[in-house]
Chains A and B, each alone.
Chain A
Amino acid sequence: MRSRGRGLGYAVAVVALLTFFLGPFVWQVLTSLWPDDQLGRALPRSLTVGAYASVLGGRPFVRWIANSLAVAAATTALCLLIGTAAGFALAKLEFRGRRLLLGAALAISMFPPIATVSPLYLALRAVGLRDQLAGLVPPYATFALPMTLWILSSFFRQLPDELYQAARVDGCTPLLAFRKVLLPLAAPGLFTTAILVFIFSWNEFLYALTFLSSPEKRTVPVALSLLAGEHKEPWPEIAAASVVATLPLVALTILFQRRIVSGLTAGAVKG
């Protein structure tokens, strides 16, 4: 491992960066415990969980989280499945249309989503998927696939050809070689992509707002937008809701992160 002898400069950099990235969220947590009538002060005189009670009490938060979870999991699974296969082909196999596929995929993800809302709404209505959670998965997957394809194909391309060729020479089909040899090495890329797709799908708002209407099908971002009054913006409640909504993601990320570490140690056995 590289030596950590940089001492003070390193420590300062760490503290500065962590403060910048985590500070606002810590402040958000504090705001969620802040009594509303003391918001004018620099610091709260007392803390209260009233905001959490108001946000969680009588609201089907678990249902919302379950909905978001279902859609995000389905999208991630779909993207990984399709993306891994296609990414491998793009990286390691010879065929015409490689550049075209990558370029077209990129082009699709570059299109402003707002212009696609109306046509997609009509299309989903036509196939009866409007107001169905399943109806969100194809659009989400479509907008997450390009990033998936690019990241995975880049990762696969970085993996040493020799291992793959060695497996082929030993008598494996490309698919088998892929599964047994390259897949474990590509774990960091897979989990990175999984996290990014999951988070993108979890936080997506526009389609979830437009295509779903039943209250029991709400996803978390749309549900959060229901909290304010017509004019009133209850800051502690909004903060509390955002903390509760972010916790599942943080938990899942911790889980995924451990897998990345194990993927790292597996990948260190190379060359």
Chain B
Amino acid sequence: MGTVSRGAPSRGGSLAAERRQAYLLVAPAVAVLAAVALYPIGAALWLSLHRHIVVFHERSFLGFANYRFLLADARFWSALGHTAYFTVVAVSAELALGLPLALILHEARRGRGLLRALVLIPWAIPTVVAAKLWAWLLNPSYGLINRLLGGADINWLGHPVLALHTAIVVDAWKTTPFVAILLLAGLQGIPEDIYRAARVDGASSFRIFRSITLPLLRPALALALLFRTLDALRVFDAIYVLTEGGPANTTETLSLYAYKTLMRAGDFGYGATLSVVTFLCVALAAAALVRGLGRGWEEAR
């Protein structure tokens, strides 16, 4: 080291200097976020107040009429229901699978690096490719899954109820590694001495896990829960490739509905409204999660 710090002596001076340094450090992030995100989001908000059908060059200000229509739109409420159900089930499954996976990776002795890299493969494959991979596995006539089930004829992606659950399994397959790697990083942050001390005290593995590992893992769990929920609420690629929202819109999620409205119909106005409302739903979920997990954040140690 050997550098004499500036503004270190007095308490008040160091606080001001600290704040200045903080702003300096944070400025680039704020700049990038503002520069790129503000315009598109602002544009979307503005568009949502208009009737803007691109092909007809129709553009008229409607105020909140789009939102009023949305509240009465049965297809929106269906999409919301599907999205909520998808999120709850998928994220639960991912956390339930991700934790054991992270524990296994943490404990692995031989071939650690390779194992961890391999497990990351589902996450690394582009979503579209992963969905196509699963579409082939789930093919009613040729798919491995039906063959393993003894030549069963199950129409995984064409049955109204089964399709959504199949999509959930595919999503869980793809994103559990993401959860696992977050939890793994959290596990690696727990110092060894704590375990040693507990074992010296004669605690069983299960007790150690419950009383030490789990609480110390809370920040990582909270992060995983937060980001997975946000992503699941906006799921698009996998469902588009697997079912395109079918059959009969039973797997249509909010993002898919917004996509079809924006890019197929060219209805930029209502599409923007759907996007804004999707965003609001996600924001509400995030706020609820952050508030509920708020204790988990501060309680790092």
What residues make up the interface of A, taking CB atoms closer than 8 Å to B?
Answer: 1-4, 6, 13-14, 17-18, 20-22, 24-25, 27-28, 31, 39-40, 42, 78, 81-83, 85-86, 88-90, 93-96, 101, 104-112, 114-116, 118-120, 123, 138-139, 141-142, 145-147, 149-151, 154-155, 157-158, 160, 167-168, 170-176, 180, 188-189, 192, 195-196, 199, 202-203, 205, 220-221, 224-225, 235, 238-239, 242, 245-246, 249-250, 253-254, 257-258, 260-261, 263-264, 267-268, 270-271
Chain A proximity mask over B23-43: 1 for CB below 8 Å, otherwise 0: 101101110110111011101
Structural contact, A13 and B100, CB atoms closer than 8 A: yes
Q: Assuming the A-B contacts A205-B128, A225-B128, A250-B118, are A82 and B300 also in contact, with contact meaning beta carbons closer than 8 angstroms in the complex? A: no
Structural contact, A261 and B19, CB atoms closer than 8 A: no
Structural contact, A114 and B112, CB atoms closer than 8 A: no
Complexed CA–CA distance, A31 and B5 (Å):
62
**What A residues does B120 contact at CB under 8 A?**
195, 250, 253
What residues make up the interface of B, taking CB atoms closer than 8 Å to A?
Answer: 1-6, 8, 15, 18-19, 21-23, 25-26, 28-30, 32-33, 35-37, 39-41, 43-44, 97, 100-101, 104, 107, 112-114, 116-129, 132-134, 136-137, 142, 144, 147, 173, 176-178, 181-182, 185, 188-189, 191-193, 195, 199, 205, 208, 219-220, 223, 226-227, 230, 233-234, 236-237, 254-255, 258-259, 262-263, 268, 271-272, 275-276, 278-279, 282-283, 286, 297, 300-301
**What A residues does B116 contact at CB under 8 A?**
253, 257, 260
Structural contact, A17 and B272, CB atoms closer than 8 A: no
**What B residues does A141 contact at CB under 8 A?**
32, 36
**What B residues does A89 contact at CB under 8 A?**
21-23, 25-26
Which 10 interchain pairs have the tightest Cβ spacing?
A: A115-B275, A116-B40, A119-B43, A95-B22, A86-B29, A89-B25, A93-B22, A142-B36, A119-B40, A85-B25
Which of A114, A145, A205: most chain B Cβ within 10 A? A114
Structural contact, B188 and A25, CB atoms closer than 8 A: no
Q: Assuming the A-B contacts A17-B100, A24-B133, are A195 and B181 also in contact, with contact meaning beta carbons closer than 8 angstroms in the complex? A: yes
Structural contact, B23 and A85, CB atoms closer than 8 A: no
* 27 sample A-B contacts, Cβ–Cβ < 8 Å, listed by A number: A2-B199, A13-B100, A24-B133, A40-B142, A93-B18, A101-B30, A110-B286, A111-B37, A111-B279, A112-B254, A112-B258, A112-B279, A114-B255, A123-B40, A149-B29, A158-B219, A170-B1, A188-B189, A192-B185, A239-B133, A245-B126, A245-B129, A246-B124, A246-B129, A253-B117, A257-B113, A270-B191
Complexed CA–CA distance, A136 and B132 (Å):
25
Residue of B nearest to A110 (CB): B282
**What B residues does A249 contact at CB under 8 A?**
124
Q: Assuming the A-B contacts A111-B44, A114-B255, A271-B193, are A94 and B19 also in contact, with contact meaning beta carbons closer than 8 angstroms in the complex? A: yes
Q: Of B117, B195, B236, B286, which one neighbours A114 at CB under 8 angstroms?
A: B236
